[in-house]
Amino acid sequence: MVIYVIRHGETDWNTKHWLQGTTDIPLNQNGIEVAEITAEALKEVPFDVIFSSPLQRAYQTAEILRRDRKIPLIVDERLREVSFGSFEGLCCMGDGYNIPDPDFRNFFEDPAHYTPPEDGESIAELCVRGTDFLTWLIDQLEYQDKTVLISGHGALVKALLSSLLITDLKDFWKGGVHKNCAVSIIDVADGKASVRQENVIYYDKARSVNYTD
């Protein structure tokens, strides 16, 4: 099995550094265009099935990458982005920062000590469902010799890779937040998974204007 994992294309909330989480925001025009560029770069990849977050920014990205392939596009709730609860829609970077919790910066700077709002989700909880999905996928006999695409989100993608790349939550963001439409590849052989590439983009990096989801 070969698994391609992509973060969704850009949204207007990305450019404003507003926390999206589970808020359902569509791609903006730049997001559509970089997804199309990425789709062209991956046009020869023989995808057999696509799994996507139910949130439209990820689903739109998946549809663009599917192109004219007659393959299933399956929504899975486990691929939803981490929930920021009542903090969604607030600015998490720069001069506009307005999150009321002074310790929220731990989400990016000290993830092992991040405490979500009461109506949000912890990084540990996100990693559990990300690992659960990846383990489930690897165990599916029907996909053992297939090429799979997963369309998700910044923190969700890191959670999917966490069981393969990190041993401590403090290293959750090692390598940084993936850029929009960045692609990672996981190879699976004899039930064992390894990361071939992480956070690779196929468009001019000048078009990547944000680093948050």
Instruction: Please give the residue range of the domain that contains residue 97.
Output: 2-207
In this model, does residue 211 exceed pLDDT 90? no
User: Given this model, what pLDDT does residue 210 score?
Assistant: 62
17 in a structural domain:
yes
Catalytic-role residue among 10, 63, 81, 125: 81
Report the number of distinct structural domains present in the chain.
1
Rounded Cα distance, 118 and 3, in Å? 34
Percent of the chain with pLDDT over 90: 92
- For residues 2-23, average pLDDT: 97
- In this prediction, residue 194 has a pLDDT band, given cuts at 50, 70 and 90, of very high
Q: Is 81 one of the annotated active-site residues of the chain?
A: yes
Cβ partners under 8 Å of residue 17, min gap 6: 91, 92, 93, 94, 96, 210, 212
Answer whether residue 212 is part of any domain. Answer: no
In a domain, residue 200? The reply is: yes
Instruction: Kindly tell me if the per-residue pLDDT of 44 is higher than 80.
Output: yes
In terms of Cβ atoms closer than 10 Å to its own Cβ (0-12, 13-18, 19+), residue 164 is middle
Is 189 part of any domain?
A: yes
Asked, for residue 117, whether it belongs to a domain, the answer is: yes
Specify if 213 maps to a domain. Answer: no
* Residue of 158, 175, 170, 178 whose CA lies nearest to 110: 170
Report the CATH number at residue 124.
3.40.50.1240
Classify residue 181: in a domain, yes or no: yes
Cβ 130 vs Cβ 101: under 8 Å: no
